Structure 1
Amino acid sequence: MKALACVAVAVSLLIAGCGTDKPAESTPAPSAQSDVPPPLVPAMPLPQNAVEDAVGKLDGIAEDLMKKSGVPGMAVAVVHGGKTVYAKGFGVRDVKTGEKVDPDTVFQLASLSKSLSSTVVAHQVGVDAIGWDTPITEKLPWFALADPAVTRMVTVGDMFSHRSGLPDHAGDMLEDLGFDRRRVLENMRQLPLDPFRISYAYTNFGFTAGAEAVAVSAGKPWETLADEVLFEPLGMAATSFRFSDYEDRPNRTVGHIHADGRYEPSYVRDADAEGPAGGASSSLNDMTRWLAMMLANGSHENKQIVDEKALLPALTPQVVSSPASEPAMRSGFYGYGFNVSASSAARMEISHSGAFELGAGTNFVILPSADVAIVALTNATPSGVPEALNAQFADLVQFGEVREDWYKLYNDVFTQMEQPVGSLAGKQPPTAPAPAAPLASYVGTYNNDYWGPARVAEKDGRLQLSIGTKLAVPLEHWDGNVFTYTWVSENSPPGSVGKATFDGNRLVLEYYDESGKGTFTR
């Protein structure tokens, strides 16, 4: 039976790699046949001088995208043949100072942090300190999900591939309120679950739970572990998972939010709570060291930093993240901290993006079969600029031409993400609203097991609402017992309007009610 299974696998690989519907006369001459296994054969060879010619067009591509988007600053680098063949800054670190971006300028990486974190875990897997299949509760006995059976089974790999069943972006709004990592992770047990291991939903704090298990296993904080096993061995002196390190860098960008048609440095994004998933910062010159190591299968300067076998599962499909909508369509996959897909040239692409509404957009793409990688970092609300630049570069490498309007495709998606939230956003208050009750009747502390207490106070003839340590806003009367408030956070773009409805000892906050958890009781 074992031999038959092997034959079946071999046949399936041959069919996938070559096809069986071509007539015999179409078979290429022996000299044109490949001598590598079919799954490694791309649809076409690379153009002559593919990487060099693509690099030669990067200045123009970057300048065009900067002009179209208005993004204040960007840094772009390419690694090929083990060397950095392009590294350049564009625009400014801060529109208020005009200081220029250069290859040593430090950017916040946002979710590109996940791929760095995955590399840290692969190191630990390679030295047998932990496994991708280690259950989370083996290292974090206090951690739980809504289903006790899933709690026992969920592993580091499940969390790093977003297949735990947790809801999309679970816990992110708790972070917006100022709760720390432990508090957010403890609240994961209150959330409903989709089917385990067959559902994909992107979760920063699920990912962070996996990283915390690895850190506890190592006996040190995640931030220290990353320094010791990855950043220091690679000489990435400007890279850290600590927000305080980013703030202390003299040559760093500030985040710019997109509002009223322009980019302004109005807010600060501290992502320490979800550090492994989104809290890293780095420079272009540091990122090229990591990309060179990735292209070298975990090796740096003839020293194996990360075990190749431990790294491979991270870079190969573990869950379907973008299911095809028709048979002819290619699906997208997620490994452990990396997006994995096949290009139209039948070449595997490994990538990840990062996005902070408050001011960061990042992306890298690795084409292992072409021995090339590109990274683009920006300091503004995501607009698709780094993704479009890297997609154009990948097209040029593989085909010698750009085959899609990548900026339009990506910008359309990111523009939708900038839309204000709340059912009353963009609407005018009633011209003749029903009167509110005496303000004192609304005052009090309204408790909620998931979000914590909502405190309503009266000050200078107005109601004030506060939750956590970061939300403190005035309530404006709308109609009867309905009030509104405005605020900006990572998950609520400018123009968002919160709706607060009082009903005796109950307060329903619409924004926090998506999972049916928005009722607070006095």
Structure 2
Amino acid sequence: MPSKRNFPASTRRHALCLAAIIFLASGAALSQTLPLKRLDAYLERARVQWEVPGLAVAMVKDDSVIFAKGYGVRELGKPGKVDAHTLFAVASNTKAFTAALLGLLVEAGKLNWDDRVVQHLPGFQMYDPYVTRELNLVDLLTHRSGLPVYGGDHLWIGAQLDREEIMRRLRYLEPNAPLRAKFQYQNLMFLVAGQVIPAVTDTSWDDFIQARLLQPLGMRETVTSIRFLAGRDNVAAPHEVVQGKIAAISYDSVDATGPAGSLNSNVIDMAQWMRLQLGKGVYRGRRLLSESTMRMLHTQHMPIPVGVWAEKNFGRHFSGYGLGWFMYDYRGQKVMSHGGGLSGMFSLQTWLPDKNFGVIILTNFAPHDLTDALTYRILDAVLGAPARDWSADFLRWREEQREREARAEAELQAQRVAGTRPSLALEAYAGTYFDEFSGAAQVKLVNGKLVFYYNPRHTGEMEHWHYDTFRLTWHNPIYDMPKTALVTFFLDEAGRVEKLKTVFYDPIYFKRVRE
């Protein structure tokens, strides 16, 4: 998720010159271990292969920024170039900041890591009373709440709800796993973690992160909302595939779930954040986070099973999640990492604690695997491994994934029952539908076709599939949503529409509201 801010012009010019000098001067000193000039050429070549409009990369080694550079353009069709100060949405890279803020409150004696959420948010409620009572702060930060992967994200993607209302509705979101039994990536739990901050400090998450992390780290260009991007020139536009072509799109506001991913930043600022991580809480000689807090943040709290594919292709032996950080092994090294994905933006930061090295990559296109490909190429260089064309590998794997998707579509088509009709006239399906968690949805009859409307990111036309099931094609889906969904209507004993079932990320039932 995103957020941004800017250096004064004179400071920005100084930093850009310094980055260039570091790149050129350090290249010779580090040529034995890190061939920066060859990497520089590879980064641009891979960007073109993946058709990513723009990206920026920064590397940190031994507490110094040794490389910071932009590639491509901020927006297709416009001349503005990406540089080291271009602002991008860093999305879920925000999560580690939120975890660190709770660590500061633990240090101050206002929280304990094993505090139950209801101790600080008495009105907080989950679907299961046991989970309501037992859920603790570490659970919020480790994706082990039992809620579905991305469950509830439709409450903030394209929606207008505020943080309090989203948190209130959690009582209606059914889990699909027991508490602490399974890793299931969950944005809304980080929202709850962020709401603990004003509960114990009377300061909003937005103000607290500015005062306690962004300002001490000199991240003067980083902001907590796209509202602060207005009037700034050096801002990357998000891009997605629209009607078969890569095109600039509008930012999605994620203010409602800010603690999970609303930061916008650039590689210069994010390099300072990596310096803090590699320095184990020390930045420019000043301790900002205690050793015990850093150990807590960087310790695995939730294991993640290693799949056959990751073991075969990356030699992975373990994988897990700390507090806002993924961790795994690569070539005998512990790797700490987190990515961020939002509408038209992908980012990835990765660091090797034992090598005192980190890399951050920001891009203005989604989805793609370029950030992973470039990261592995850079890690191989740092570790002295043979140069491998990871970009070509990931492009091949992308084609294999597309082939799997085509086969899945063919299988779905084969299951379609031909020669059927809806039970009712189309106008009988039109109306308002409601779910306690999701709120209201509309089905409208427009120019002889049914249209499903929930919010701007969840709207589309429906074509009859078979029986009382229709196939919905989303007009403007976020990058990681399926482009289509089936909508099934259910009739009551009187032959009237009673409810519908569809899928955003998981199945959702909306009940018909009687006029």
Q: Distance in 2 between matches of 1:462 and 1:368?
A: 57
CA shift, 1:411, in A, is 7.2
Which residue does 1:213 correspond to in 2? Answer: 196
Per-residue CA deviations over 1:461-499 (Å, capped at 9, x if unaligned) read: 554433257545444455564444322222665842453
Per-residue CA deviations over 1:151-192 (Å, capped at 9, x if unaligned) read: 222112111111222221121133235143333323333312
Q: Distance in 2 between matches of 1:401 and 1:455?
A: 56
Q: Distance in 2 between matches of 1:246 and 1:311?
A: 31
Which residue does 2:256 correspond to in 1? Answer: 273
Shift in alpha-carbon separation, 1:410–1:298, aligned structure 2, 3 A: farther
Work out which of the residue numbers 284, 303, 307 in structure 2 matches 1:320.
Answer: 303
Query: Could you say what secondary structure the match of 1:176 adopts?
Result: coil
Which residue does 2:15 correspond to in 1? Answer: none
Shift in alpha-carbon separation, 1:52–1:513, aligned structure 2, 3 A: closer
CA shift, 1:125, in A, is 2.4
Q: Distance in 1 between matches of 2:276 and 2:73?
A: 29
Which residue does 1:506 correspond to in 2? Answer: 498
Query: Could you say what secondary structure the match of 1:317 adopts?
Result: coil
Equivalent residues of 2:421, 2:467 under 8 A apart? yes
Q: Number of matched residues?
A: 472
Work out which of the residue numbers 360, 384, 390 in structure 1 matches 2:375.
Answer: 390
Shift in alpha-carbon separation, 1:51–1:248, aligned structure 2, 3 A: farther
**TM-score, scaled relative to structure 1:** 0.81
Which residue does 2:293 correspond to in 1? Answer: 310
Which residue does 1:74 correspond to in 2? Answer: 55
Per-residue CA deviations over 1:355-377 (Å, capped at 9, x if unaligned) read: 22x31111111112111111110
Which residue does 1:353 correspond to in 2? Answer: 339
Query: Could you say what secondary structure the match of 1:53 adopts?
Result: coil
Work out which of the residue numbers 424, 443, 453 in structure 2 matches 1:466.
Answer: 453
Query: Could you say what secondary structure the match of 1:198 adopts?
Result: coil
Unpaired runs of 5+ residues, structure 2, are 1-28
Equivalent residues of 1:507, 1:519 under 8 A apart? yes
Work out which of the residue numbers 78, 98, 106 in structure 2 matches 1:117.
Answer: 98
CA shift, 1:340, in A, is 1.4
CA shift, 1:415, in A, is 8.3
Structure 1 segment 169-318 matched on structure 2, within 5 A: 169-176=150-157, 178=159, 179-190=161-172, 191-259=174-242, 262-318=245-301
Percent identity over paired residues: 25
2:65 equivalent to 1:84: yes
Query: Could you say what secondary structure the match of 2:368 adopts?
Result: coil
Shift in alpha-carbon separation, 1:322–1:261, aligned structure 2, 3 A: farther
2:39 equivalent to 1:58: yes
Which residue does 2:14 correspond to in 1? Answer: none
Which residue does 1:161 correspond to in 2? Answer: 142
Query: Could you say what secondary structure the match of 2:511 adopts?
Result: strand
Equivalent residues of 1:242, 1:272 under 8 A apart? yes
Work out which of the residue numbers 397, 401, 424 in structure 2 matches 1:412.
Answer: 397
Query: Could you say what secondary structure the match of 1:241 adopts?
Result: coil
The one-letter amino acid of 1:496's match is: T
Query: Could you say what secondary structure the match of 1:499 adopts?
Result: strand
Equivalent residues of 2:151, 2:506 under 8 A apart? no
| Range with greater deviation from structure 2 (302-311 or 62-71) | 302-311
Structure 1 segment 356-505 matched on structure 2, within 5 A: 356=342, 358-402=343-387, 405=390, 408-409=393-394, 412=397, 416=401, 434=421, 437-459=424-446, 462-468=449-455, 471-478=458-465, 481-487=468-474, 488-490=476-478, 493=481, 495-501=483-489, 503=491, 504-505=496-497
Per-residue CA deviations over 1:394-437 (Å, capped at 9, x if unaligned) read: 111112423573652487369859969x9899969998663674
Q: Distance in 2 between matches of 1:513 and 1:449?
A: 17
Q: Distance in 2 between matches of 1:351 and 1:414?
A: 25
Larger C-alpha radius of gyration, 1 or 2? 1
CA shift, 1:456, in A, is 3.0
CA shift, 1:244, in A, is 0.9
The one-letter amino acid of 1:108's match is: A
Per-residue CA deviations over 1:425-465 (Å, capped at 9, x if unaligned) read: 99699986636744443333222222222223445555443
The one-letter amino acid of 1:360's match is: M
| Range with greater deviation from structure 2 (407-416 or 232-241) | 407-416
Work out which of the residue numbers 323, 326, 335 in structure 2 matches 1:339.
Answer: 326
Shift in alpha-carbon separation, 1:51–1:222, aligned structure 2, 3 A: farther
Query: Could you say what secondary structure the match of 2:437 adopts?
Result: coil
Query: Could you say what secondary structure the match of 1:387 adopts?
Result: helix
Shift in alpha-carbon separation, 1:313–1:267, aligned structure 2, 3 A: same
**TM-score, scaled relative to structure 2:** 0.82
Shift in alpha-carbon separation, 1:163–1:479, aligned structure 2, 3 A: closer
Query: Could you say what secondary structure the match of 2:273 adopts?
Result: helix
The one-letter amino acid of 1:216's match is: A
Equivalent residues of 1:176, 1:489 under 8 A apart? no
Q: Distance in 1 between matches of 2:259 and 2:269?
A: 18
Q: Distance in 2 between matches of 1:466 and 1:406?
A: 39
Which residue does 2:131 correspond to in 1? Answer: 150
Q: Distance in 1 between matches of 2:55 and 2:450?
A: 43
Work out which of the residue numbers 505, 516, 520 in structure 1 matches 2:511.
Answer: 520
Q: Distance in 1 between matches of 2:181 and 2:455?
A: 34
| Range with greater deviation from structure 2 (48-57 or 209-218) | 48-57
The one-letter amino acid of 2:333's match is: R
Per-residue CA deviations over 1:224-279 (Å, capped at 9, x if unaligned) read: 11111111111111112212123453211011113566421134322222211121
Per-residue CA deviations over 1:38-88 (Å, capped at 9, x if unaligned) read: xxxxxxxxxx94785243432022012112201110000011122111100
Equivalent residues of 2:471, 2:484 under 8 A apart? no
Shift in alpha-carbon separation, 1:498–1:390, aligned structure 2, 3 A: same
Equivalent residues of 2:457, 2:477 under 8 A apart? no
The one-letter amino acid of 1:355's match is: G
CA shift, 1:195, in A, is 2.6
Shift in alpha-carbon separation, 1:167–1:126, aligned structure 2, 3 A: same
Q: Distance in 2 between matches of 1:415 and 1:492?
A: 18
